Chains A and B, each alone.
Chain A
Amino acid sequence: MPATPPTLDTADNLDMLEGDEQVVHHVSQQEKRRKQRDTGGDAMQLNLTSMIDVVFQLLIYFVVTASFTIGEGVITAKLPSGPGTPQQSKQPPERPLEIILNTGGDIGTEYRVSIKGLAGQPRSFTELSDTLIQLQYDPQRGLNGAYKPDNPVIIKPDVSVRWQHVVNAFNAAVRARYSNVSFAQAGAEEQ
């Protein structure tokens, strides 16, 4: 039915208007009922605002305090043998390869690495690894050095060498495929 402006007051239009109103009334009743069914009525609706406030506060707290760690891995090492420790092997079968770490330059920040009894000394841990590979004897990889892969390698760091350099030296030896790498006591070189 076309909507008629209610300003006309002829009998016909009045009739139509009344009919229209009835229809409108009917529809709004239906709608009201449907709304009540859908939402349970206006009076029953939950007020979620305060809960959302609290939840957001919690969320922000946990987001801010969450700290994600960077992926860490491990390299397996043999420990320095000190007093009262179980003796693993009676005596080292070969002459051990000794890597000596010293501090150089500014205290603690620089390092000096050297292999005992070698002429050309490495300047970095990458070079140390390359030198160690050259010293190795492994026919399968075409290496003709004097040391077998299971030859003991001992890392002898000075007292105030940073842990990073110690692990770096260890990593270099492991990367050069030496299987028997161990640590000496701190400052063992001076004694």
Chain B
Amino acid sequence: MSKVHKKGPTSPAMNMTPMIDVVFQLLVFFMLVNNIISEEAVQMIVPDLENPKTRELGEENRITVNVAPQSYDPVRQIGDLNIPGEAATVKVGLEVFELDDMEGVTEALKDAKSRNENIEVLLRADSGLFYDEVQPIMQAITSAGIVKVNLVAYLPENKR
């Protein structure tokens, strides 16, 4: 009896160690995931196609040209094109350019091409942008001596 009584006060203390282990794992996971995503991609809704023929592209030898919309609306649904169709900025890799600085875009891409001859350019533009906003950027890419570009759209399995 006295044995049980003596042990009593210590037994309700929780063993925190496994929980702390799990929590730290989660913490590290979310920290890393956050950094990976925010590195190159600007938040936007890319085109959502009818019967898409899109394919996945490897992580290597590529540079992304983002054409950012005026503002990213987090509640906007896929397929909603009802936004102001003007672009805001162009982001080549990690560099941000203004819309009137197409020479800068061309230079950045020439740089990237001189560093890596096999580089593939991904053109990632918001689905709601007008064509005449995207077309000068396509032309800037051409001026850098790049003939082919990869247009970014959603993969088939993500269709809603």
Query: Which residues of A are in contact with B by a Cβ distance under 8 Å?
Result: 3, 24, 27-28, 31, 35, 48, 51-52, 55-56, 58-59, 62-63, 65-82, 84-86, 88, 101, 108-109, 124-126, 129, 157-164, 166-168, 170-172, 174-175, 183, 185-187
Closest chain-B Cβ to A3's Cβ sits at a distance in Å of 6
Q: Would you call B33 and A79 a contact (CB within 8 A)? A: no
Q: Would you call B127 and A162 a contact (CB within 8 A)? A: yes
Q: Would you call B138 and A80 a contact (CB within 8 A)? A: yes
Q: Would you call B47 and A164 a contact (CB within 8 A)? A: yes
Most buried by B among A108, A160, A162: A162
Q: Would you call A170 and B135 a contact (CB within 8 A)? A: no
- Who on chain B is nearest to A173 by CB? B53
Q: Would you call B129 and A74 a contact (CB within 8 A)? A: no
Pick from A35, A65, A79, A162: contact of B138, CB under 8 Å: A79
Residue B114 interfacial (CB < 8 Å): no
A88 to B147, CA, bound (A): 8
Q: Would you call A28 and B56 a contact (CB within 8 A)? A: no
Cβ of A74: which chain B residues have Cβ within 8 Å of it?
Answer: 54-57, 122, 150-153
Which residues of B115-147 are within 8 A (CB) of A?
122-135, 138-139, 141-143, 145-147
Closest chain-B Cβ to A165's Cβ sits at a distance in Å of 8
Closest chain-B Cβ to A162's Cβ sits at a distance in Å of 5
Closest chain-A Cβ to B23's Cβ sits at a distance in Å of 5
Q: Would you call B151 and A75 a contact (CB within 8 A)? A: yes
Whether A71 touches B47, Cβ cut-off 8 Å, given contacts A55-B24, A163-B134, is no
Closest chain-B Cβ to A178's Cβ sits at a distance in Å of 11
Pick from B41, B133, B145, B150: contact of A69, CB under 8 Å: B41
- 28 A-B contact pairs sorted by A residue (CB < 8 Å): A3-B1, A24-B2, A31-B6, A48-B16, A55-B23, A68-B33, A70-B158, A71-B56, A72-B124, A72-B152, A72-B155, A73-B54, A73-B152, A73-B156, A74-B56, A74-B57, A74-B153, A79-B146, A79-B148, A108-B82, A108-B130, A125-B50, A159-B132, A162-B81, A166-B134, A175-B53, A183-B138, A186-B135
Q: Would you call A185 and B122 a contact (CB within 8 A)? A: no
Q: Would you call B131 and A73 a contact (CB within 8 A)? A: no
A101 to B138, CA, bound (A): 18
Cβ of A65: which chain B residues have Cβ within 8 Å of it?
Answer: 34
